[in-house]
Structure 1
Amino acid sequence: MIIRPSLPTDAPGISRVLTALTAAGLRVSPSDTDFALNNYIENPNGIECSVATDPEGSILGFQALLMAVEGNHYGVTPGWGIIGTHIHPEAIRQGIGGKLFIATRSAALKANLKFIDATIQNYNTGGLAYYESVGFRTYETNEDAIRKVFDLS
């Protein structure tokens, strides 16, 4: 497995991961190539988007870290990081998320972040367990989601 920064040419592979998650009932947001490019790879508030690939270059998963700005969609405190982790359903339980988080944590430290937010839908038990396993802790819950924070300070 290779972990590396994403490139614009990764948008179709990221889209395939998102589409597979939608088909598995684990995602409801858009999954098209333009969405992948604009929201993850070339997001103006992006700090880092890393991909995990197999030896042939197929994308197994990715992790995006954004800077929370005033009025962000998630209501995250401005100046915090916002993380999203997406692993192809056929590639779960292979340690991909943990390896991606090594790169993301490094990028967060370089960006001088103190906290990273992960907002996870209540039904995403795998995502909730993953974030706990890498050190995120619950700081808020509502009827739809559980919000977890990673403290970098």
Structure 2
Amino acid sequence: MKVRQAVLGDAGEISEFLQQLEKQGLRTLPSDAAYVRSHYIDHADKIQCAVALAEDGTILGLQILKVASEGNVYGVTAGWGIIGTHVRPNAARRGVGKALFVATHAAAVKAELENIDASIGAANAGALSFYESIGFRTYRTPEGKVCKCFEVTA
């Protein structure tokens, strides 16, 4: 599996598997290519947006790391990182998220982040388990969500 930075041309393929996640009830945010470009690949607060590729070049997943701005919609402390991970349904439980997190962790260290927040739907057992497995710990539970924190170390 290869990990690289996402480019604008990836938006259509990413959108396609985000729509699959939406149909399965695992995603509530928009899934169209324009949203992928503006909120993930080309977002002003982006530190990194990485994709994992299969041998044939198919995008298996993406992981976004942004810096939390003051008053962000997630209620995350300004200056913390905000992470999002999305894996193609047929690639789940194959190490895609963990491979992506190697690159994301390096980007977080380089950006000198102290903490990263993952705000997860309370009913999303797979995502809750994934983040716990890579060292995120629950630090708050607003209505319908579980917010996990990762303390960044070099």
Matches of 1:5 and 1:113 in 2, distance apart? 19
Tell me the SS of whatever aligns to 2:15: helix
Shift of 1:117: 0.2
Counterpart in the other structure of 1:74: 74
Matches of 1:39 and 1:125 in 2, distance apart? 24
Matches of 1:13 and 1:53 in 2, distance apart? 12
Matches of 1:17 and 1:36 in 2, distance apart? 11
The one-letter code matched in structure 1 to 2:113 is L
Tell me the SS of whatever aligns to 2:17: helix
Shift of 1:90: 0.8
Counterpart in the other structure of 1:62: 62
Counterpart in the other structure of 2:3: 3
Counterpart in the other structure of 1:102: 102
| Paired residues for 1:1-150 under 5 Å | 1-150=1-150
Shift of 1:134: 0.2
Shift of 1:142: 2.4
Once the two structures are superposed, residues 47-96 of structure 1 have per-residue CA deviations (whole angstroms, 9 ceiling, x without a partner) of 00000111221111100000000111101000000000000111101000
Matches of 2:16 and 2:73 in 1, distance apart? 24
The one-letter code matched in structure 1 to 2:71 is G
Matches of 2:16 and 2:78 in 1, distance apart? 31
State the TM-score, normalized to the length of structure 2.
0.97
Shift of 1:14: 1.2
Shift of 1:123: 0.8
Give unmatched runs, 5+ long, in structure 1: none
Matches of 2:38 and 2:99 in 1, distance apart? 24
Aligned length: 153
After the TM superposition, list the runs of 4 or more consecutive aligned residues in structure 1 that deviate by more than 4 angstroms. Answer: none
Tell me the SS of whatever aligns to 1:22: helix
The one-letter code matched in structure 1 to 2:108 is A
Shift of 1:143: 2.6
The one-letter code matched in structure 1 to 2:77 is T
Give unmatched runs, 5+ long, in structure 2: none
Give RMSD over aligned pairs.
Answer: 0.8
Matches of 1:31 and 1:151 in 2, distance apart? 29
